[in-house]
Amino acid sequence: MSPVRYEVSGSTVTLVLDEPSNRNAITPALLEGIASGLKAAEEDARIRAVVLTHTGNTFCAGADLSGGKRGKQGSAGAAPTEGTASAEGGQSGAAAGARAVSAEGAAVPQRADSGGGDPADPTAEQRERGRAAADVCRALLESPKPVIAALDGHVRAGGMGFVAACDVVLAGPRATFGVSEVRIGVVAAMIAPLVLARLGDRTAAEWFLRGSAVSAAEAASAGFVTRAVPAGAEAEGEVSGGAGAARTAASAAGGSGAGASEGGHSAAATTPAYAPPASASPVLAEALEEVLGDLRKAAPAALAASKRLVNRRVLRRMDEEGEEMLDLSASFFLSDDARAGMAAFLAKESPPWVVSE
């Protein structure tokens, strides 16, 4: 079974990252699920928008830590130390019960004698893992359909790249964000062109250097999130980081707000109202429906051209810096610091470079 569910409701496709037991970690299967879902949505003329969301308390923790330990993920071909940042929402480097450590969709390889066959070219293998994740981020940016991230859980490491590649990002009260790679001795290089394009320099320095988690409200203030929807927003009509306009409570019923020809169909009856993800909080679902209602009013060709226009800068940055970032990422993931940091994380100990004062 794919870790990504593909659901159609009216003129909207929802891609649900649906492996909460693994904190929706990045695996080849998850990357394939997102990529194939985007392609299917692109080929369906009825579809006006794609929603990227999740089940469980984590949107995406980064790369899979379990590696070969999980039979259904065996195709990853990664060492058991494959992983990324703790998505438990804590700011420590070894949150209790966490399964992932800051790594951007790439494996931290074991020594050559750790088993698993011919090590061949570890650098090339590492670069290909990074390239696979970057290709999915590019697909999110280049899809002619607007992609809305609807998050109400933790986002770490490689998951931050997915979020940065979306066109609109709505974050519920349980969402937190973090670029925590430095805490295990690696560099958040593969996601850097995307994440840095969404942040100012001062904020980027704090996020990339401190490696700690920030709230949805902080992420919205920094411009990384479009809207942070606080727990009391439904009653107060308050939305952070966006227009915060009051909306009709009935907007989700019968596709109201998009007109009788909503989604380009001749009658509203042929386009059922969008059904929000079951895991979405009521206030997040309401904010999502507001965005979708606006997108239904837009001409598809103009929408696609406008998306190309607004994403031109970040795509250019990916083109210019991509190979350099692949090299930088691989060099650190293959380093002694990465091995020590990963081993410490798995043992729930502090890595050797941590000092008390």
CATH of 4-260+267-346, one of 3.30.720.200, 3.30.2130.10, 3.40.50.150, 3.90.226.10: 3.90.226.10
Q: Report the pLDDT averaged over residues 3-18.
A: 95
Strand partners, 169: 149
Query: What does the alpha-carbon distance between residue 72 and residue 259 come to, in Å, rounded to a whole number?
Result: 45
> Is the Cβ–Cβ distance between 53 and 14 less than 8 Å?
yes
Maximum distance among all alpha carbons in the chain?
68
Domain boundary assignment for the chain: 4-260+267-346
> Is the Cβ–Cβ distance between 184 and 338 less than 8 Å?
yes
What are the pLDDT digits (tens) for 209-242?
999 999 999 999 999 999 999 876 443 444 445 4
Asked whether the predicted pLDDT for residue 96 surpasses 80, the reply is: no
Least confident range from 6-15, 112-121, 203-212, 342-351: namely 112-121
Q: What is the mean pLDDT of the chain?
A: 78
Asked whether the predicted pLDDT for residue 120 surpasses 80, the reply is: no
Query: What does the alpha-carbon distance between residue 45 and residue 348 come to, in Å, rounded to a whole number?
Result: 50
Q: Report the pLDDT averaged over residues 30-46.
A: 96
What are the pLDDT digits (tens) for 167-222?
999 999 999 999 989 998 999 999 999 999 999 999 999 999 999 999 999 999 99
Q: Of 30-44, 66-80, 241-255, which one has max mean pLDDT?
A: 30-44
